[in-house]
Amino acid sequence: MKTFITTFVVCWTITSTVPATLQGAEPEFALVKAEECRPRAGLSNFFKKATQKGAEVRIGYLGGSITAQQGWRVKTLAHFQKAYPDAKFTEINAAIGGTGSDLGVCRLQQDVLAQKPDLLFVEFAVNDGGAAPTQIIRCMEGIVRQTWRALPECDICFVYTLTEALSPPMLEGKFQRSASAMESVADHYGIPTIHMGMEVAKLAKAGQLLWKAPLPKDKASQNAAAVPLVFAGDGVHPYTETGHELYLQAIVRSLEPIAEASGEPGAHKLSAPLDPENYEQAKLVPITGAAKLSAGFAKADDKQQPFAKNFAKRLPDLQAATKPGETIRFKFKGVRCALYHVVGPDSGQVTITLDGVKTVRSCFDPYCMYHRLNTLVIGDRLPNTVHEVTIEIHPEMPNKAATLAKIGNKMDKPERFEGTALYPGALLLVGEIVK
């Protein structure tokens, strides 16, 4: 599969996860019964505006690489335009491959709400597949509360996608764990949900779907009605002609019951939170406005870092440093903090000092064959007090050959992988910077 960095379509999940020492024990989470659509309170404001002649309807798509593909996002936008020809539909494409709701809740204001959507689709069930249910609930609830705090008339719909690896519960009639966790948030706030993978699971169970295979060359087999249907080339990212067409059909089928459930339009009112520790206060803070950078840092530019232009929209404050010993220092009051940065072949590792405790963390992972967005969790589930952080470039490179080999990647040109570079762009906080 080709990877186009400018559209942020990537084929994996972020691997800079929270260290075991920062995680708490998670209880078993009850899986909910699988249903393609739960209309709940519907999408009253969206349907009202869509039927108004001359209305400009903005639809936000917040998600990962499945949403970034030219698939269900593009197809649904075209469907809405055809179904409601008197209105004009535009998209807010806020999809970044390999990212979950933990990044989504922090970048929501910058990437979505600033453009004032009328309807927001949220798609993170796949990339949240390995996340703890407690974190998923806090992130998804934070997305809801931030949205309705800023834009009370913006309707929200959670949509769930599916992969071969996440399919076993669906084959037994239950949502996968991530979608089950999201359902608790949707229930609490009356948000409609659509599992776009219900028909996918049904066909797979009947032996009528191939999760992973080349797309057939004959046109007759390149559609959602083909038997067997070839879903994807990697078991994850659907083919536009087949898997994404199934996703579109699921949404189209769900629109009627959602419309029937919709009541009178009006502002959404925030009830008491489901989880009082939700991430409503999550935010993205540009790095130079939040931290003190040592003299070796400079704003990334297209000559020294030609990849920088690919990330100008998401990280306009992207900085660069290459020498060991360069530091980033800041204080914050809150419960969670992560670094939003760019990683690539020349990335190294860093020493993080959090409240006096040092850990060495690699910024290089098995997918660092090119430069891409990533997050590095600094602290999670912290006491809600003031914390002091130093991030310092480590003098030694990680074992890059061994790291790449974990998934079968190799250094094509060893000189590309030399370096201990660090490219920070922002801090992701559940809390506030302390000056």
* Separation CA 48–CA 411 (nearest Å): 55
- State the greatest distance between any 2 C-alpha atoms of the chain, in Å, as a whole number: 63
* Separation CA 342–CA 93 (nearest Å): 20
Bridge partners of 354, per DSSP, are 357, 389
Triad 280, 282, 286: Cα angle to 5° = 150
Spatial neighbors of 165 by CB under 8 A, at least 6 apart, are 129, 235, 236
Tell how strand 37-38 and strand 193-195 pair up: antiparallel
* Separation CA 93–CA 335 (nearest Å): 29
CB-CB neighbours of 128 under 10 Å: 28
pTM of structure: 0.91
Treating both helix axes as pointing N-terminal to C-terminal, what angle do 133-150 and 101-111 enclose, rounded to 10 degrees? 10
- The token pair that represents 281 in the structure block: 């206060």
* Separation CA 162–CA 237 (nearest Å): 9
Domain boundaries, given as residue ranges, for the chain: 31-261, 282-434
Q: Are the C-beta atoms of residues 82 and 51 closer than 8 Å to each other?
A: no
Spatial neighbors of 128 by CB under 8 A, at least 6 apart, are 100, 101, 136, 139, 178, 181, 182
Q: What is the CA radius of gyration of the chain?
A: 22
What is the four-CA torsion angle of 47, 160, 97, 426, rounded to 10 degrees?
Answer: 70
* Separation CA 123–CA 95 (nearest Å): 9
Domain 31-261 has CATH 3.40.50.1110: yes
- The token pair that represents 152 in the structure block: 């009370």
Using the structure block, give the residue that is written with the tokens 């024990």. 25
Domain 282-434 has CATH 2.60.120.260: yes
* Separation CA 260–CA 262 (nearest Å): 6
pLDDT in single tens digits along all 435 residues of the chain: 333 333 333 333 333 333 333 344 455 789 999 999 999 999 999 999 999 999 999 999 999 999 999 999 999 999 999 999 999 999 999 999 999 999 999 999 999 999 999 999 999 999 999 999 999 999 999 999 999 999 999 999 999 999 999 999 999 999 999 999 999 999 999 999 999 999 999 999 999 999 999 999 888 888 888 999 999 999 999 999 999 999 999 999 999 999 999 999 999 999 999 999 999 999 999 999 999 999 999 999 989 999 999 999 999 999 999 999 999 999 999 999 999 999 999 999 999 999 999 999 999 999 999 999 999 999 999 999 999 999 999 999 999 999 999 999 999 999 999 999 999 999 999 999 999
Using the structure block, give the residue that is written with the tokens 């002091």. 388
The total number of residues written for the chain in this structure: 435
